[in-house]
Amino acid sequence: MTSTYSRSRLWKIKKYLLSGIVYVFVIGVTIPVILLYALLFITSFSVDMEGIIPKGLTLNNWKVIITGEIEVPGAEYTYPNLYLVMGNTFLLAITVAAAEVFFASLAGYAISRFKFRGRSQLLGLILVLHAFPGVALLIAIFYILNVLGLYDTLLGVFIIKVALDLPLGIWIMKGFFDSVPWDLEMSALIDGCNRFQAWWKVLLPSVRNGLMAVLIFGFLSGWSEFIYILTFISSQRYWTLSMLVYAFTSGEYFYIRPGVTAAIAIMYMIPVIIFFLFAQKYLLRIQIAGKGVV
């Protein structure tokens, strides 16, 4: 009797110990991620940092919001106005998102509903394109932009961005259109809608989630774009926030006024944080959609 009792107790202790170790492991590997973001947040409100502990709190770093003028002591060149940079970033993000939603919903619908020659080849191609090494096209794109006179314009970056993001957008939308029962569309057609009206009035509202996913994906993708800006933009007046943050941290001005850099980086992260808090299901969808596993 006693032996059974102690054995079961021993087993229980072992079980608690094991799950304790598991929890410590999970929290241990996750804490660096949390610390990194805490570091950013605290840095923006402090004079100087010692590890994660602020040495003197201040709001001075955030003064940059008032005028948008960025001053770097001892810097030989000036930075563009913060509001200009933010405006560029927003313009690029919103136009990329709008264009991707428009084209992806049309193409996704066509691929989901119409039978045409080469349809499955086209689908396979879209998947292959999605896995296409972007770096491999940079040189050719550079050449094309130069020929078209679009080098150093936001329009050029916008076109490349939409073209290269579209395969994923189309794939997401195709998945959503596939899940809408054909009967729904059929009844709209019987009730006297034409194909376009059925698409506009009946189908689009029922793939709202897909449209949201593509919209968020397009916005974040345009908002965060860095490589194309670095490569295809040379004038400061077309800089986006990614380029500004990069300029702060590269070369000789690395870590001058970290508080201001942190404040700007936080402003840069606002849409990301909003989507993270309120639209996580879309983000998850974007992560796995178009990779052939949904």
Partner 1 sequence: MLFYFVPVVLTVLISFTNMDYSFRWNWIGVENYIKIVTDPWMPKILANTFFYVFATLTCFNVGLALVLSLITTHINEKVGAAIRAIWLLPRITPSTVYVLLWLWACRRESTSLFNWLLGFFGFKPINWRLEHPWLLVIFINGFIGVSFGMIIFTAALKSIGNDVIWAAKVDGASTWQLIRYVELPLIKWPLLFVLAYQTLSLFTSYEYILLATGGGPGLYTTEVWALYVYDLAFRQYGGIVYFGYGAALSAILVVIGVTMSVIYLKVFRFRELMIEPKIEVG
Residue number with CB closer to partner 1 (87 or 124): 124
Smallest separation (angstroms) from partner 1 to the CB of 161:
11
Smallest separation (angstroms) from partner 1 to the CB of 211:
19
Distance in angstroms between the alpha carbons of the first and the last residue of the chain:
53
> Of 232, 223, 260, whose CA–CA distance to 79 is shortest?
260
Residue number with CB closer to partner 1 (2 or 33): 33
Smallest separation (angstroms) from partner 1 to the CB of 85:
12
Smallest separation (angstroms) from partner 1 to the CB of 270:
11
Smallest separation (angstroms) from partner 1 to the CB of 131:
4
Residue number with CB closer to partner 1 (91 or 164): 164
142: its two tokens: 């550079």
| Rounded Cα distance, 202 and 14, in Å | 58
Residue number with CB closer to partner 1 (154 or 266): 266
| Rounded Cα distance, 263 and 119, in Å | 49
Residue number with CB closer to partner 1 (49 or 212): 49
Residue 110's contacts (CB-CB under 8 Å, 6 or more residues apart) are none
Segments in the chain forming alpha helices (H): 2-43, 64-67, 82-113, 119-130, 138-148, 154-178, 182-190, 195-197, 204-206, 208-224, 227-232, 241-249, 258-278, 280-288
